[in-house]
Amino acid sequence: MELEGEIERGAALWKSSILVLVGSISAQVAISYVQRRVVPGGIENAIRTLTDLLGLLAVPLLLLLGCAIWVRTVRERLSVWRNGLGLSSIVLLSCVWMIDLAARVASRIHPY
């Protein structure tokens, strides 16, 4: 019974990861299209703003999914140094994302 629950949770996490990946690829295709074709300015600005916001939201989502998958599936089987490396990479990516977020907020408050 517990094994079935773990399999279902793992499948849900993988589905979420695949959905985020498809969204990222779609955003990349949209940006590439806007850069190489002549489109109205309003549509270009909307696509750029939307992909900017999706990119800002995708990083913490992927970090949470990666952390959840790591904790639930492979953490117990890894050695201490590999667990430390995984945890430090999650912390480092979180810090970089927060610095990027702070820079974006600061540029919105005082652009120049």
Query: Rounded to the nearest 5 degrees, what angle is found at the Cα of 94, between the Cα atoms of 97 and 91?
Result: 150
Q: How far apart are CA 27 and CA 31, in angstroms?
A: 6
Cβ atoms 23, 53 nearer than 8 A = no
Q: How far apart are CA 5 and CA 2, in angstroms?
A: 5
Cβ atoms 93, 63 nearer than 8 A = yes
Q: The domain containing residue 98 runs over which residues? A: 2-109
Q: 75 phi and psi, to 5 degrees? A: -60, -40
- Total domains, the chain: 1
Per residue of the chain (112 residues), give pLDDT as tens.
Answer: 566 666 676 677 778 778 878 887 888 888 888 888 888 888 888 888 888 888 888 888 888 888 888 888 788 888 899 989 988 999 999 999 999 999 988 988 987 7
Q: 17 phi and psi, to 5 degrees? A: -65, -40
CA dist 38 → 34, 43, 48 (Å):
7, 10, 14
Residue 89's Cα: distance from chain center in Å? 14
Amino acid letter, residue 44: E
